[in-house]
Amino acid sequence: MTSYFIRKIFIAALIILPVLFFQGCKKQVKCGCGNDILFSINNELMNYESISYSANGESASFLIYNGIYYDTYIFCNPEEMFPTYTDLAGEKQVLISGDVFWDCTYMMSASNSYYYSYYKVYNIQITKMKSYLYGKK
């Protein structure tokens, strides 16, 4: 009789426990500009020369050291920020702010290789780029 009762409790537990511990499906983060924001950068200080712009202003990027390698940040709005970038020419350091998203090309490639764990590629929607006026008013 007790083995029958224990068997019934065991079967009930097999049915009930997964229901109690199931957290639901987690939403897959969408990649690309304007989708799910991973994090925001606020007044990141960097050298002006570290921002790479194409000659016509159609693409731009910069790198940030992550402790192992450099993560790449590709501008979502390079043409919009190009006039600000050219106005800052001659500055040594600038402050950059913006929202950061996963880069779709990186996301597709990263799942296939261990190498991609060393660095990441992001898209960034620049909201502010200004001169760093250390000690100046």
Domains and CATH numbers, the chain: 26-131 (2.40.50)
129 forms beta bridges with: 96
CA angle 132, 119, 84 (to 5 degrees): 30
> How does residue 122 score in pLDDT terms, banded at 50, 70 and 90?
very high
Contact 126, 97 (CB under 8 A): yes
The predicted pLDDT at position 36 comes to 87
Least confident of 23-27, 28-32, 91-95, 109-113: 23-27
The pLDDT score that the predictor gives to residue 48 is 93
For residue 34, which of 101, 83, 84, 94 has the smallest C-alpha distance? 101
Residues 6+ apart with CB under 8 A from 8: none
- The stretch 74-91 carries a mean pLDDT of 94
Dihedral pair phi/psi, residue 90, rounded to 5°: 100, -15
